[in-house]
Amino acid sequence: MSEKFVGTPRKVSTHVNQNEDLIFEKSSPGKKAYRLAELDVPAVDAASLLGEHTRKDLGVMPELSEIEIIRHFTRLSTWNYAIDLGMYPLGSCTMKYNPRINELVSRLEGLAEAHPYQPESLSQGALGIMKLLSECLIEITGMDAITLQPAAGAHGEFTGILLAKAFHTANGNPRKKILIPDSAHGTNPATAAVCGYQVANLKSNAKGMVDLAELEKAVDEDVAALMLTNPSTIGVFESDIHKIADILHAKGALLYMDGANMNALCGKTRPGDFGADVMHLNLHKTFSTPHGGGGPGSGPVACKKILEPFLPTPVVVERENGLLGLEYNRPQTVGRVRAWYGNFGMFIRALAYILANGPDGLRQTTEDAVLNANYLRAKLKHLFDLPFDAPSMHEVVFSDKRQTKNGVKTGDMGKRLIDYGFHAYTVSFPLVVPGAMMIEPTESESKEELDLLVDALEQIAREADENPEIVKTAPHTTRLQRLDETTAARKPVLRWKAPAAATPLTPDSAAKEW
């Protein structure tokens, strides 16, 4: 058992206090981080070039030396946690390692500096990447066509439901409702509402899966689609997925699959083969492109042939002369959903990941991800409540039911985990599990790293029984202690505001404004 934080953890020295780390407070008039050569051309007044658009007041800007700037941002970087530092057990997020080879190829000069205004004749390499990635993703999903445009998972959901709506409208009835299980991602009902649909919830059965009897009663000619996450948000595979698809198709409805958890299926089974009509993928989850603070997402949408005419344009096609080009003439298209062609840098990284692994490697990553989740389940089920006994896939969901008798909740244990050097798991989600503890190790983590996490959670479970206060007041080793989360959510301070011009800028006034 680790003795790392037995009892009250020590506080970590911050070197500087909170207020001193604000870059504006280090500012002094006249400091510069650069030196320019004397002007050797006639000076031009900006106002003569920009006219009325010239800004008169540049506001309060910090004036610092180069070393102060470097130290400021380097110091801030040490406040952050990163996948390069340790495990991210965030369930449903699939925070896997981003291989450096992906980053290398995305920075190749001809790709990193490609411009969307380039003519097709000079963009054959970029278009080739988009076409090959599309073909790979179509094969992986078992679908017939795809768009790479959507910029994130929720954006992919939006695009997929637009396709469903366009399909039903073309058939003479746009329909009125979208069915969504109670275990769905929160973006699912939001997407349906934004697309103009009414949302009807489906209750899960005792196994946390779709209740077929409830589904049959709910599906009628007003239902456009069911938005289903498979594996579900409790980490279990919908064992009756074929029956679900048949029930929907019998009434003319579509099966939309939220592909957020594709890391449990990739290389093992294909959604198109078990009845899905349209789905989005998260390149930033399953295919290891950076996400969160590390880079933009990408949420391609794959579909069956019946929905292909409605895909966003432009579409990469092969011309008669053998060159690749962009086709815009699709009369039934839902139109653009993204400026230009999508987050191209993510396409490069995802394709590099797919090609580096190959079919066998992708299958192995899936098997390893599922194995890791089940290893954690086996190691921790004696400490934390397991609300569903269905087999776990890529993630395992516990609850805080045993710990709440001492007033310790899932959020407390997640914060305490920070003291042990780990990022918190996903707390309080899915909503069908009160006090949920959602853990997804991905395939990136070794047995040694998993054992360290088990070690920490065992210690936290013991503390919850013997010394609950230490858990309820965690974290103890971070530079900032517990925040007022309600106020932070409702009244976020998102930018620094300079004091009034007549008030001299001092460390105290800057801190107050911050």
The pLDDT of residue 387 is above 70: yes
Q: What is the mean pLDDT of the segment spanning 216-242?
A: 95
Taking the model in full, what pTM does it have?
0.87
Give the Cα separation of 347 and 144 in Å (integer): 19
- pLDDT band with cut points at 50, 70 and 90 for residue 338: very high
The pLDDT of residue 214 is above 70: yes
3-state secondary structure of 426: strand
Tokens read off for 384: 């934390």
Residue pair 261/230 in contact (Cβ under 8 Å)? The answer is yes
Residue pair 288/99 in contact (Cβ under 8 Å)? The answer is yes
- pLDDT band with cut points at 50, 70 and 90 for residue 500: low
The pLDDT of residue 7 is above 60: no
Q: Which residue has the higher pLDDT, 512 or 342?
A: 342
Q: Give the Cβ contact number of residue 22 at 10 Å.
A: 18
How many percent of the chain have pLDDT more than 70? 92
CATH of 361-485, one of 3.40.50.2000, 1.10.760.10, 3.40.50.10470, 3.90.1150.10: 3.90.1150.10
**Would you state the pLDDT for residue 78?**
85
**Would you state the pLDDT for residue 426?**
96
3-state secondary structure of 59: coil
**Would you state the pLDDT for residue 25?**
73
Picking from 96, 34, 63, the residue whose alpha carbon sits closest to that of residue 372 is 96
Domain positions in the chain:
102-355, 361-485
> What one-letter code names the amino acid at 77?
S
State the average pLDDT for the chain. Answer: 90
Q: Which residue has the higher pLDDT, 243 or 84?
A: 243
Distances 80 to 49, 157, 422, 479 between C-alpha atoms, Å? 43, 30, 12, 11
Cβ neighbourhood burial of 118 (10 Å; 0-12, 13-18, 19+): exposed
**Would you state the pLDDT for residue 275?**
97
- pLDDT band with cut points at 50, 70 and 90 for residue 221: very high
How many percent of the chain have pLDDT more than 90? 72
> What one-letter code names the amino acid at 142?
G
**Would you state the pLDDT for residue 393?**
96
Q: What is the mean pLDDT of the segment spanning 332-360?
A: 96
- pLDDT band with cut points at 50, 70 and 90 for residue 143: very high
Give the Cα separation of 16 and 75 in Å (integer): 10
The pLDDT of residue 46 is above 50: yes
How far is residue 321 CA from its own chain's centroid?
Answer: 40
Beta bridge partners of 254: 225
Q: Give the Cβ contact number of residue 442 at 10 Å.
A: 26
Q: What pLDDT, in 10s, does the model give residues 266-318? A: 999 999 999 999 999 999 999 999 987 667 889 999 999 999 999 999 999 99
3-state secondary structure of 376: helix
Whether omega before 314 lies within 30 degrees of 0, making that bond cis, reads yes
**Would you state the pLDDT for residue 9?**
41
- pLDDT band with cut points at 50, 70 and 90 for residue 79: confident
Residue pair 262/285 in contact (Cβ under 8 Å)? The answer is yes
Q: What pLDDT, in 10s, does the model give residues 162-175? A: 999 999 999 999 99
The pLDDT of residue 15 is above 60: no
Q: What is the mean pLDDT of the segment spanning 423-439?
A: 94
Q: What is the mean pLDDT of the segment spanning 42-67?
A: 82
Q: What is the mean pLDDT of the segment spanning 200-218?
A: 92
Picking from 284, 33, 290, the residue whose alpha carbon sits closest to that of residue 150 is 284
On the question of a common fold for 102-355 and 361-485, the answer reads: no
Q: What is the mean pLDDT of the segment spanning 81-100?
A: 92
**Would you state the pLDDT for residue 12?**
36
- pLDDT band with cut points at 50, 70 and 90 for residue 498: low
Picking from 132, 187, 52, the residue whose alpha carbon sits closest to that of residue 351 is 132
Is the CATH number of domain 102-355 3.40.50.150? no
**Would you state the pLDDT for residue 251?**
97
Q: What are the start-end ranges of the H helices in 381-473?
A: 410-419, 447-466, 468-472
**Would you state the pLDDT for residue 293?**
66
User: DSSP code of 385?
Assistant: B
Q: What is the mean pLDDT of the segment spanning 139-152?
A: 97
Beta bridge partners of 324: 318
Q: What pLDDT, in 10s, does the model give residues 401-425? A: 999 999 999 999 999 999 999 999 9
> What one-letter code names the amino acid at 303?
C
- pLDDT band with cut points at 50, 70 and 90 for residue 448: very high
The pLDDT of residue 10 is above 60: no
Picking from 243, 255, 276, 273, the residue whose alpha carbon sits closest to that of residue 181 is 255
Q: What is the mean pLDDT of the segment spanning 477-486?
A: 86
Task: Point out the least confidently predicted range of 48-52, 56-60, 438-442, 500-504.
Answer: 500-504
